[in-house]
Amino acid sequence: MLAEKLHVVGQSVARRDGLGHVTGKTVYVDDINFKDMLHLKMVRSPVPHAMVKGIDFTRAERVPGYVRAFTHKDVPKNIYTILCLIGVGPDEEPVLAVDRVLYQGEPIAAIVAETEEAAIEAVSKVNLELEELPAVFDVEEALQPGAPILKPWGANYFIYEGHHCRRVRFGDVEKAFQEADFIVEDKYQTTPIEHAPTETTGCVARPEPDGRITVYTNTQALFFTLDNTALILQIPFQKLHFVGGTVGGGFGGKVDVIVEPIATLAAMRTNRPVKYVFSRQEEMQCSSSRAAWRMYFKDGVMKDGRIIARQITSYSDSGAYNRHSPYAVTKHAANVAGPYRIPNVWIDAYCVYTNRQPASAMRGFGVTPASFAIEMQMDKIAQVVSLDPWAIRFINAYRNGDMKPHRKIVEDATLIEVMQAAAKMVGHELPEKFSRMSSWDGKEN
């Protein structure tokens, strides 16, 4: 295993930020306050799908401390998609809704006020004129003819280079199904999950004397957020200075570039520092979640337990907008066949839009649901062929040198070794053929 002798790598040295954390001296975004700071709160859609016919700020303007409101007209490049930075498009999410909202909690207008209470009260006094539309919440219903269409390109799915879905084609599954002793099928479903970091998403944008804006943020990705903010506000990149690095829990929930653009815009227009921090309710109900996935597996299996074909159709419930989902679906397609050597694989993975809050990145996204489905399916196959759950995995485990369905040669496989170690931990004695197996034993099986 490890040959090299190292001095400090490999040692459990104390955390660099530990003393700050235990004394409470670590500064997080919400701990930053400026004397002349304004607070931003969002007017949000109360319904999952509607046309926005009108917004009336008259009563909000009368709230003492009200400063001003922002609508889509104030945002220079209102329609964006954050992954444009890695070439994903087209732009499709408004910073502030234009004439239609696609999920409950979607931002329609931003209000800044002298105090947070005043901002909250002013938001409650905004009159929205909405015309509700039928909503779609189920990924397969969303793909049926007659479903409400949510995207300007006339479909409820992301288009991957002309295809309705991300595809993987490896070998010939249909032929292998014919040869298989058993066909094992099932449907797996996961659910939208909240990141639930103890610190909610937020930032403070502050105009500087030199005309630049400093944005203190708990984003997980500093430059990514800066770049998107500049693009949305159509300002030169050098006008922005982002400071962060200390985050009270992320789990993928803080890479969406949601608070920074509007807070920066408000700071530029008012020439005062602006704080925009999600309430817990906003974090739970309006911010992005882990996507719910529906996955259909069909495997061709031989009597000895070898899986010779795997066909998967997956649907990511990406909610109303892209965020990171088109990327997640590709990552899913690359991994959903599992750490097993299966010579024939066919995958269709759909990125589907529905009228719920957008899904986005979360710890292991695309793969966490895949691992759930793959391993449940392995367990089912073991029962069908009457093998124990260890045997089915050893028999099919991938090796270094194998080619994966996405045609990459496996280099760092150690599935066999972790299974051997786990069996040892729980006192499960493996048959010799499995205890002697190695991820480096090449093509023999």
Partner 1 sequence: MTAKIVTFKLNSRLVDVVAKPLTTLQTVLREHLGYTATKAGCRQGGCGSCSVLVNGEPMLSCLLPVEDVEGMEVTTLEGLTLDGQLHPLQESFFEEFAIQCGYCTPGMIVVGKALLDRNPHPDRHEIVLALTGNYCRCTGYEPIIRAIQKASMRAINEPSSEKGS
Partner 2 sequence: MGTQAYYLPKSVDEAVDLLAEYGPDLMVMAGGTLAMPLINEGISMPERVMGLRRAGMDGIERVNGSLRIGATTTLSHLEIQSGLPLLAEAARAVGGWAVRNMATAAGNLFAPPPAGDFATALLALDAEIQLVSKKGKRSVKVSDFYTGFLTTALSQDELVSEIVVKVPDGRTAYLKYGRRHANTPSIVTVALVIGFSEKEVTTARIALGGVGPYPLRAHSAEAYLIGKSIDPNVLSRVKDLALEECEPFTDAIASEWYRRRMIPVILGRAFDQITG
Partner 3 sequence: MAKKRGVGIAAVNYPTGMNLGGDPSQALIHATTTGNFVITLSSTDLGQGLKTVIAQIGAEALGVPFENVMIDTADTDTGPHCMGTFASRATHRVGNAVIQAAQEARKVMIEVAAEELEANPEDLVTEGDGFIKVKGSPDRKIHIVDVALAAHFKYGRTISGRGMYMKPKSEVDPETGKMDPDSTEAHACTVAEVEVDTETGEVTVLSLKSAYEIGRQVNPTLVEGQIRGGSVMGMAHALYESIQPYYPLVEHMPSGFSEYVLPGPMELPEIESVVLEYPSVNGPFGVKGIGEMTANSPIPAIAIAIANAIGVRITEIPITPEKILRALEEKGSKEG
CA atoms of 60 and 108, how far apart (whole Å): 14
Query: What is the distance, to the nearest Å, from the Cα of residue 90 to the centroid of all Cα atoms in its chain?
Result: 18
| DSSP secondary structure code for residue 397 in this structure | B
How many beta carbons lie within 10 A of that of residue 41, not counting itself? 24
Q: How far is CA 71 from the centre of its chain?
A: 26
Backbone angles phi, psi at 301, to 5 degrees: -130, 140
Pick 30 or 417: Cβ nearer partner 2: 30
64 binds partner 2 (CB under 8 A): yes
Q: Which is nearer to partner 2, 63 or 352 (CB)?
A: 63
Residue whose pair of structure tokens reads 């430059």 in the numeric block: 223
* 286 near partner 2 (CB under 8 A): no
| Structural contact between residues 350 and 292, judged by C-beta atoms closer than 8 angstroms | no
Partner that binds at residue 30, options partner 3, partner 1, partner 2, none, CB closer than 5 to 8 Å by kind: partner 1
* Smallest separation, CB 372 to partner 1 (Å): 20
- In the region spanning residues 241 to 260, those forming contacts with partner 3, defined by CB under 8 A, are 241-252, 254-255
CB of 334 to partner 1, least distance (A): 28
Q: Which of 30, 74, 114, 417 binds partner 3 (CB under 8 A)?
A: 417
Question: Which parts of 284-343 interact with partner 3 (CB under 8 A)?
Answer: 284-285, 289, 292, 317, 327, 330-331, 333-335, 338-339
Query: Residue 31: which of partner 1, partner 3, partner 2, none does it interact with, CB under 5 to 8 A by kind?
Result: partner 1
Q: How far is the CB of 39 from partner 1 (least distance, A)?
A: 11
Q: Which residues contact 33 (CB under 8 A, 6 or more apart)?
A: 204, 275
Count of C-beta atoms within a 10 Å radius of residue 8: 6
Tokens 């999950």 appear where?
A: 193
The two structure tokens encoding residue 176: 């292998």
Q: Tokens representing 194?
A: 């909240």
Question: 124 or 178, CB closer to partner 2?
Answer: 124
Using CB under 8 A as the binding rule, whether residue 415 contacts partner 2 is answered as no
Q: Which stretch binds partner 1 (CB under 8 A): 72-80, 277-285, 314-322, 350-358?
A: 277-285
Question: According to the binding rule CB under 8 A, does residue 251 interact with partner 1?
Answer: yes
CA distance 113 to 64: 9
- Three-state DSSP at 401 gives coil
Interface with partner 1 includes 27 (CB under 8 A)? yes
Closer by beta carbon to partner 3, 267 or else 334? 334
Residues 159-218 that bind partner 1 (CB under 8 A): 195-200
For partner 3, the closer of residues 72 and 356 by Cβ is 356
Pick the binder of partner 2 from 31, 51, 124, 433 (CB under 8 A).
Answer: 124
Q: Pick the binder of partner 2 from 52, 95, 118, 307 (CB under 8 A).
A: 118
Q: What DSSP letter does each residue of 311-372 carry, written as one string? A: EEEEEEE-TTS-TTHHHHHHHHHHHTT-SB--S-EEEEEEEE--SSSPEE--TTTTHHHHHH
339: Cβ contacts below 8 Å, ≥ 6 apart: 397, 398, 413, 415
Choosing among partner 3, partner 2, partner 1, none, which partner's interface includes residue 124 (Cβ < 5 to 8 Å by kind)? partner 2
Using CB under 8 A as the binding rule, the residues of this chain from 29 to 58 that contact partner 1 are 30-31, 33
Q: How far is CA 176 from CA 170, 385, 431, in A?
A: 12, 17, 29
- Binding of partner 2 at residue 121 (CB under 8 A)? yes
117 binds partner 2 (CB under 8 A): yes
Q: Which stretch binds partner 2 (CB under 8 A): 89-97, 121-129, 213-221, 289-297?
A: 121-129
Say which entry of partner 3, partner 1, partner 2, none residue 118 contacts (CB below 5 to 8 A, set by partner kind): partner 2
Residue 163 touching partner 3 (CB under 8 A)? yes
Q: Which amino acid is at 74?
A: D
- Residues 206-232 as b or e (16 or more Cβ within 10 Å = b): bbeeeeebbbbbbbbbeebbbbbbbbb
Peptide bond between residue 369 and the one before it cis (omega within 30 degrees of 0): no
The residue among 112 and 168 lying less far from partner 2, judged by its C-beta, is 112
Beta strands 289-290 and 292-301, pairing class: unpaired
Residues that bind partner 1 (CB under 8 A): 12, 14-15, 17-28, 30-31, 33, 195-200, 247-251, 279-281
